[in-house]
Amino acid sequence: MRNFFCLARPPLRRLRLVSTPRLQQIVKRDGTLARYDRRRIETAIFKATCAIGKPDQAFAARAALNVEAALMATYVDANLPTVEDIQDVVERVLVGLGTIDVAQNYITYRRQHAMLRAARANEFAVSDNIPYRKIYDVLRWNIDHGCETVAGLNRIIRRGEYPDLVAAGDRRYVEDIRRAATIVLERRQDVRIVIVAGPSSSGKTTTTIKLSNLLAESGIGFRAIGVDHYFFDLEQHPRDEYGDYDYETPQALDLELINEHLEQLLAGREIKTPHYDFKTGKRTLNVHPFRLKKNEVLLIDSLHGLYDGMTSRISPKNKFKLYIETLGQFRAADGNFMRWADNRLLRRMIRDRDNRNQKPIETLTHWHYVRRSELHHIIPYLRNADYVVNSALPYELPLLKQRLFRYVVKARDQFRDDPKRLDAHIRANRVFDLLKPIRTVRDETCVPADALIREFIGGSCYTY
């Protein structure tokens, strides 16, 4: 259990009875919206008090009000909390109140229900490998290679077997892409556009390059178009109360121009794509001449590739849609599986620092926009994908820790007493707990220049 479980239990009268009606909706696990209901939080806390043999409905009601107050200090306007966000805050409030026994039982209750959901999902997906069969295969691969836990990964590093894990992990990833390329070849007569979609920092660009190379080996011509260059100028995007720009929505892209250019390309006409400078946040139109030959496949890597509006003017039969996600099955020291989004957050903190003139802590505080967009504009379209690739690499956490751990420590301290940054503080704590016991690797010579992780840590042979 985390170190803060040693807190003493304060008297119940210290609970603050604060409530506000501003929070109306939450985001469910499938990305849809649902009505916010504080009674559900109250019921969950009451069950936790029952589990320790001390049922206390009054405490549950007052604790739920504290949870609601904490939520309202963090999630304002269009920034809606997810179910997991709410559960994180419940844990935090219960621990902060010193009700350690109640908090422990709530955590146990939450973990058990997560396991039940996973079991039901696997039953549902027996004949459907998107994404639950894939998750099972990833876990089985990790177990076979002894890298599914912190202890196992540390053992591999200690024994000097880390280079072998790097080689095996990269082979698995490339074979996944090779299977996707095979499907494209089988549909070659109709497919004109291959879309590589997925959430932020899942590795779309490297995957697009590798897929392109595999198609080229089979005699298929290809051209890759960078949809990120179709961003509107950053100053046109809305800002929140902290001054952060919301550029994670599909509407941050010039969807109309994208569709217009795609139609022209499939008709054999030349276009001039725009150029976007991420450091200045400015777009220049009509910069790069681009033409798609009759026998070429157009490759698109985009955060919102599955979003209907991205390619609405193109016939479905002419598109192959690949979804990529960090489906890592890795247990942290506390026994919980690492969250896929946390894996990608760490990657993006490095990328933004090195390539987008953004400090790692700024990426951390901006992450609520990323998650909101994913839940609204990516997850609901996941079932439209033709194939799913897992981009989580079993060897990457030691590399990420070496570059980021000091920033994570700083974020924990900086946001500790800031109620408006509660989500960032919770996230920083969770990532801290994940990375702290993992051994770092300083000799990276065993990581090849064409490895996906090089997209984020640098040293890649590819041009991004």
pLDDT in tens, 131-169: 777 888 999 999 999 999 999 999 999 999 999 999 999
Surface-to-core class of residue 259, CB atoms within 10 Å of its CB (0-12 exposed, 13-18 middle, 19+ buried): middle
pLDDT tens-digit readout, 13-61 = 444 444 444 788 898 876 778 899 999 999 999 989 988 888 999 999 9
pLDDT tens-digit readout, 220-251 = 888 889 898 999 998 886 665 666 666 678 88
Q: What pLDDT, on a 0 to 100 scale, did the predictor assign at position 118?
A: 53
Distance CA 160, CA 460 (A): 24
Q: What pLDDT, on a 0 to 100 scale, did the predictor assign at position 13?
A: 40
Q: What pLDDT, on a 0 to 100 scale, did the predictor assign at position 128?
A: 38
Give the residue, 278 or 120, on which the prediction is more confident: 278
pLDDT tens-digit readout, 192-205 = 999 999 999 999 99
How would residue 279 be classed by pLDDT, with cut points 50, 70 and 90? confident
How would residue 6 be classed by pLDDT, with cut points 50, 70 and 90? very low
Distance CA 398, CA 402 (A): 6
Q: Residue 335, Cβ neighbours under 10 Å: how many? A: 9
Distance CA 71, CA 133 (A): 35
Task: Please list, in sequence order, all residues whose beta carbon lies within 8 angstroms of the beta carbon of residue 459, skipping any fewer than 6 positions away.
Answer: 444, 447, 449
Q: Residue 94 has which token pair?
A: 């219960």
pLDDT tens-digit readout, 65-117 = 999 999 998 887 668 888 889 999 999 999 999 998 888 888 887 777 765 55
Distance CA 309, CA 298 (A): 18
| Mean confidence (pLDDT) of the chain | 87
Which residue ranges form the domains of the chain, and what is each CATH number? 3-116 (no CATH), 127-457 (3.40.50.300)
Q: What pLDDT, on a 0 to 100 scale, did the predictor assign at position 241?
A: 60
Q: What pLDDT, on a 0 to 100 scale, did the predictor assign at position 117?
A: 58
Does the pLDDT of residue 326 top 90, yes or no?
A: yes
Does the pLDDT of residue 12 top 60, yes or no?
A: no
Task: Please list, in sequence order, all residues whose beta carbon lies within 8 angstroms of the beta carbon of residue 267, skipping any fewer than 6 positions away.
Answer: none
Does the pLDDT of residue 423 top 80, yes or no?
A: yes
Average pLDDT over residues 166-182: 95
Residues 407, 166: contact at Cβ < 8 Å?
no
pLDDT tens-digit readout, 259-278 = 999 999 999 999 999 999 98
CA 285 and chain centroid, separation:
31
Task: Please list, in sequence order, all residues whose beta carbon lies within 8 angstroms of the beta carbon of residue 413, skipping any fewer than 6 positions away.
Answer: none
Residues 16, 65: contact at Cβ < 8 Å?
yes
Surface-to-core class of residue 293, CB atoms within 10 Å of its CB (0-12 exposed, 13-18 middle, 19+ buried): exposed
Q: Residue 228 has which token pair?
A: 């990120």
Does the pLDDT of residue 429 top 80, yes or no?
A: yes
Q: Secondary structure of the chain: what % helix, strand, coil (to 5)?
A: 55, 15, 35
Distance CA 268, CA 270 (A): 7
